């Protein structure tokens, strides 16, 4: 089962300040989306609305064609796992898992138990006594085992060490292939997880900066490196996101496809063209922001 998400003119205000401002999105079901943004860009607020944790101040949200807020038929089809957790600290791990099993109709108990064992989570311990990494692993286990048609992870894996995080990425991809559904991953660890993304959404200061297929976005970024004078001449009139200089050499990051003719020109002048990592593109595209809380 897959559910489409559609957001039109979404706004969320806290007093006089808008955390999300006029965001419109269409997210077809059955994809892995990467949600990126600087701290305070509105990512968690947007996800909270999608998960019915809060109601929007303006605009429309539709999941599977229905408004999700206080809609039981939609709420139990969305699993939202946050970095700071969503289960009472006083619960034991086994009780938290039992509670989670009652929340999502597609719950896979066998998978939950396998992941608890994999991440060595002591089921009799109270959540408050777990390390940050173990709390993150519990969130990962609950999110994957929920098998919710829309599963959202909001920085939940930041507390995990590198081997555990990579294990999570592998588990997510394997489960996505076997049980297609929608995943939305909000993360600052862009380089680690970007290979999972089919589409990227970037928020900046509460507004939608872009939504694009990952491969298409990667192709928009090109680094041009060579003698400074030649690089400056070649890059004149192009959209330059950033530049670095070392002695007589210079490298600029250009946003926008060059096209075959410009690429031939670069090679003819002895300039080196290279790809730009998604994380670098994100940094360049949002560096004039600064976030919004």
Report how many domains make up the chain.
2
Domain shared by 241 and 190, yes or no: no
Last residue of a domain, one of 172, 204, 236: 204
Rounded to two decimals, the pTM is 0.90
pLDDT at 291: 39
Q: Tokens standing for 287?
A: 């560096």
pLDDT at 290: 38
Residue at 215 is within a domain? no
CATH of the domain at 32: 3.40.50.300
* Pick from 221, 235, 229: nearest CA to 265: 235
Residue at 292 is within a domain? no
Compute the distance between CA of residue 20 and CA of residue 42 in angstroms, rounded to an integer.
Answer: 5
Residue at 249 is within a domain? yes
pLDDT at 86: 62
Domain shared by 160 and 244, yes or no: no
CATH of the domain at 281: 3.30.70.2020
Domain shared by 52 and 90, yes or no: yes
Residue at 214 is within a domain? no
Residue at 69 is within a domain? yes
Domain shared by 31 and 118, yes or no: yes
pLDDT at 229: 94
What is the helix (H) or strand (E) element at residue 230, kind and residue range? helix 228-235
CB proximity list for 57: less than 8 A, separation 6 or greater:
11, 12, 13, 18
Compute the distance between CA of residue 104 and CA of residue 78 in angstroms, rounded to an integer.
Answer: 8
* Pick from 4, 210, 9, 183: nearest CA to 81: 183
154-201 confidence digits (pLDDT tens)? 998 888 999 999 999 999 999 999 999 999 999 999 999 999 999 999
Domain shared by 282 and 181, yes or no: no
Sheet-wide strand order for 199-204:
78-82, 150-154, 182-186, 32-36, 199-204, 207-213
Domain shared by 67 and 23, yes or no: yes
Domain shared by 140 and 252, yes or no: no
Compute the distance between CA of residue 189 and CA of residue 80 in angstroms, rounded to an integer.
Answer: 19
252-268 confidence digits (pLDDT tens)? 999 988 889 999 999 99
Question: Given CA atoms 246, 281, 43, 1 in this order, what sign does their dihedral have?
Answer: negative
CA distances for 182 relative to 154, 233, 273, angstroms: 14, 45, 35
Residue at 212 is within a domain? no
Residue at 76 is within a domain? yes
Domain shared by 42 and 140, yes or no: yes
pLDDT at 83: 78
Averaged over successive runs of 10 residues, the pLDDT of the chain (293 residues) comes to 93 92 96 95 95 94 94 94 74 93 95 96 92 92 96 90 94 95 95 94 95 91 94 92 92 90 93 92 75 37
Q: Could you list the residue range(s) of the whole structural domain that residue 276 is in?
A: 220-286
Q: Tokens standing for 220?
A: 């928009």
Compute the distance between CA of residue 95 and CA of residue 123 in angstroms, rounded to an integer.
Answer: 8
Residue at 15 is within a domain? yes
Domain shared by 200 and 102, yes or no: yes
Domain shared by 187 and 243, yes or no: no
pLDDT at 89: 76
Last residue of a domain, one of 180, 204, 228: 204
Q: Tokens standing for 4?
A: 């489409």
Say if CB 22 and CB 181 are below 8 A apart.
no
Domain shared by 135 and 276, yes or no: no
């Amino acid at each position: 089962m897959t559910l489409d998400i559609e957001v039109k003119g979404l706004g969320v205000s806290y007093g006089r300040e808008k955390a999300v401002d006029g965001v419109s999105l269409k997210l077809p079901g059955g994809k892995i989306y990467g949600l990126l943004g600087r701290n305070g860009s509105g990512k968690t607020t947007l996800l909270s609305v999608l998960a019915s944790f809060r109601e929007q101040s303006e605009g429309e949200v539709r999941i599977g064609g229905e408004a999700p807020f206080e809609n039981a038929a939609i709420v139990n089809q969305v699993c939202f796992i946050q970095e700071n957790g969503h289960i009472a600290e006083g619960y034991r791990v086994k009780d938290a898992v039992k509670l989670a099993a009652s929340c999502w109709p597609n719950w896979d108990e066998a998978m939950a138990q396998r992941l608890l064992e994999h991440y060595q989570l002591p089921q009799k311990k109270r959540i408050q006594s777990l390390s940050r990494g173990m709390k993150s692993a519990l969130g990962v286990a609950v999110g994957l085992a929920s098998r919710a048609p829309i599963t959202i992870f909001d920085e939940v894996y930041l507390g995990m060490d590198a081997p555990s995080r990579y294990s999570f990425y592998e588990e997510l991809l394997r489960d996505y292939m076997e049980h297609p559904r929608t995943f939305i991953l909000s993360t600052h660890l862009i380089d680690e997880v970007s290979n999972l993304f089919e589409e990227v959404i970037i928020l900046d200061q509460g507004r939608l900066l872009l939504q694009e297929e990952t491969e298409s976005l990667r192709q928009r970024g090109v680094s041009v490196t060579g003698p400074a004078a030649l690089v400056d001449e070649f890059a004149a009139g192009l959209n330059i996101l950033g530049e670095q200089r070392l002695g007589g050499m210079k490298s600029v990051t250009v946003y926008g496809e060059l096209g075959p003719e410009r690429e031939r020109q670069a090679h003819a002048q002895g300039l080196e063209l290279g790809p730009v990592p998604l994380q670098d593109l994100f940094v360049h595209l949002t560096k004039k922001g600064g976030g919004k809380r």
